[in-house]
């Protein structure tokens, strides 16, 4: 899975999980969906694109913003998707976008043994 899409927003300790997933393997592309705070405080790798959202917008507006930023940038058969960070509204918007773009995805997380785990859609 050369492409990772992860929400990077609120939730105590959730940034650490995202960082561990990012460092778990060599991703060709990484897309992080975050807010202004995440943009200002997270130091991304070179192959990372930050997608800034306004969490005060509606779910459909957030989804449209994400979709505009991802459109035509992913050619992989399957992506890795992490939703550990953020709110339900952000998760719904990101899932809506991934499904609308017709992407197959594997939900990924990190377990206590520091191994990446995935659940295939």
The domain that contains 104 carries what CATH number? Answer: 3.40.50.10770
Report the DSSP pairing between strands 104-110 and 116-120.
Answer: antiparallel
The pTM of the whole model exceeds 0.75: yes
Tell me which residue range forms the domain holding 11.
Answer: 3-120
Secondary structure in 3-state letters for the chain:
CCEEEEEECCCCCHHHHHHHHHHHCCCCEEEEEECHHHHHHCCCCCCEEEEECCCCCCHHHHHHHHHHHHCCCCCCCEEEEECCCCCHHHHHHHHHHHHHCCCEEEEEEECCCCCEEEEEC
Q: What is the pLDDT of residues 3-53, one digit of tens each?
A: 999 999 876 778 888 998 898 888 999 999 999 988 888 888 889 999 999
The domain tally of the chain equals: 1
Q: What is the pLDDT of residues 73-117, one digit of tens each?
A: 998 889 999 998 889 999 999 999 999 999 999 999 877 654 555
| Structure-block tokens of residue 100 | 């609308």
């Amino acid at each position: 899975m050369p492409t990772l899409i992860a929400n990077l927003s609120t939730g105590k300790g959730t940034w650490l999980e995202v960082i561990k997933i990012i460092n778990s393997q060599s991703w060709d592309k990484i897309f992080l969906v975050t807010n202004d705070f995440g943009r200002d405080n997270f130091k991304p790798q070179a192959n990372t694109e930050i997608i800034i959202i306004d969490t005060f917008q509606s779910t459909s507006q957030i989804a449209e913003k994400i979709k505009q930023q991802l459109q035509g940038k992913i050619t992989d058969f399957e992506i890795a998707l992490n939703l550990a960070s953020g709110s339900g509204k952000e998760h719904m918007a990101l899932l809506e976008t991934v499904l609308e773009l017709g992407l197959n995805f594997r939900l990924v997380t990190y377990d206590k043994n520091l191994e990446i785990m995935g659940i295939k859609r």
